[in-house]
Structure 1
Amino acid sequence: MDYSIRTIRADEWEKVRELRLAALQDPVAHLAFVETYEKAVAQPDSFWRERTVNGSESGAGRVRQFVAETPDGRWIGATTVIVERPSDAEPLFGEPSKVDQTQLVGVYVRPEARGAGVIDALFRAAVEWSWALPEPAVERVRLYVHEDNHRAVAFYRRFGFVPTGGRILLADAESGYDLEYVLPRSS
């Protein structure tokens, strides 16, 4: 499969919305995302425009969304990276950061593109961006994954992420825990 990885552009909010809504309709979306399709589809265009600007190269610099794009312009996958600093008042997800780190969220690859290396390429771009951030240097990349999302856990481990033992009980106690995994920066 032919594709390239790049950062989203500020004016691509409609594509950001379309891919996110597709992700939220995936059969394992209830394990992979804290947002529901119903909540996302109800958001106004202004929400999607702001979200897209924030994740683009022209955004504030604390968020980047990477997409995998086919030569005909179709988006087949994405992930978002959020910078977390110890000085942040409240973390996005999980415990407050004690180190300078980034967090990967919104990981999705369309079913027809799975197994073609898309997720590897997206993660390489996200991790490389994390390591290239200006001082203070990012010490690790972290993510959370639902304990029952075995396919995702297998990929994260293969990529080099290791469990920390940290876990979060989700708002719906019936749905189980999200587990923290990290990729430490190599010396």
Structure 2
Amino acid sequence: MSFAVRRVAPGEWAEVRALRLRALADPVAHLAFLDTLEHASEQPEEFWQDRTRNAASGDQAAQFVAVSEDGDWFGTATVLDNRDRPGAGLVVGVYVADGYRGAGAIEGLFDAAATWAGQTGRAALYLEVHVDNHRAQRAYERCGFVRTGEITTLDNGQEYVMVRSLTTR
């Protein structure tokens, strides 16, 4: 399968919205996201335009997408400033659509995120993964993330904190 991984462009808000709604419709979305399909569906166009514009440029946030050769947007990962850990990024909104899993997209998304984060002076990427989301945990470990030993409690339950150092990869 041929696909490209790249940062979103400012005008691609409709595609960003469609991919987010696709992710929130996934059967395990309740383990992976703190948002719901209903809530995200109610957001106005301006919300998606601002979100996309903020993720498309600058060094505060970046959203990366995996796009198939026929134009299907099927994967995403976003890096934000990690407020709890200065000098690190926080990866959120990770998703690869069923049917594309196992084809290298998750690795491509994380590599793009790591490259961008390193270029913007970050030394590590952190993420949180639900303790019951074993599929995601395995994927993150394949991509160089390791558990820190910390567990956070969010509205959807407990999550492991994982880190990927950018200085040793």
| TM-score, normalised via structure 2 length | 0.94
Which of the residues 161, 165, 168 maps onto 1:180? 161
User: How many Å apart are 1:100 and its aligned residue?
Assistant: 0.7
Aligned equivalents of 2:161 and 2:49: distance in 1? 30
Alignment partner, residue 89 of structure 2: 102
Q: Please report how far the alpha carbon of residue 169 of structure 1 lies from its aligned counterpart in structure 2 after TM superposition.
A: 1.1
User: Structure 2: how far apart are the matches of 1:154 and 1:138?
Assistant: 24
Measured after TM superposition, the shift of residue 132 of structure 1 is 1.2
Letter in 1 for 2:164: L
Per-residue deviation, 1:160: 1.5
Query: Where in structure 1 are there 5+ consecutive unaligned residues?
Result: 85-90
Counterpart CA distance in 2 for 1:61 and 1:186 is 18
Calculate the aligned-residue CA RMSD, in Å. Answer: 1.2
SS of the equivalent of 2:70 reads coil
- Higher mean C-alpha displacement, 103-112 vs 156-165: 156-165
Tell me the residue number matched to 1:87: none
Cα distance between partner residues in 1 of 2:64 and 2:11: 14
Which one has a larger percent strand, Structure 1 or Structure 2? Answer: 2
User: 1:1-187 residue pairs with structure 2 within 5 A?
Assistant: 1-57=1-57, 60-84=58-82, 91=83, 96-97=84-85, 99-133=86-120, 137-171=121-155, 175-187=156-168
Query: 1:138 aligns to what SS in structure 2?
Result: coil
**Deviating 4+ runs (over 6 angstroms):** none
Aligned with 1:72: secondary structure?
Answer: coil
How many corresponding residue pairs?
Answer: 168
Q: Secondary structure at the match of 2:150?
A: strand
Deviations 1:128-183 (A, max 9, x none): 111111xxx31211000000000011111122211112221112xxx420110001
Name the residue aligned to 1:88.
Answer: none
Q: Deviations over 1:81-117 (max 9, x none)?
A: 1123xxxxxx3xxxx22x4100111001110111111
Task: Judge conservation of contact 2:127–2:162 (CA < 8 Å) in 1.
Answer: yes
The amino acid that maps onto 1:68 is: A
CA distance in 1, matches of 2:142, 2:3: 22
Percent identity at matched positions? Answer: 43
Q: TM-score, normalised by structure 1?
A: 0.86
Instruction: Report SS of the residue matched to 2:99.
Output: helix
Query: Given that residues 77 and 109 in structure 2 are in contact (C-alpha distance below 8 angstroms), is that contact kept between their aligned partners in structure 1?
Result: yes
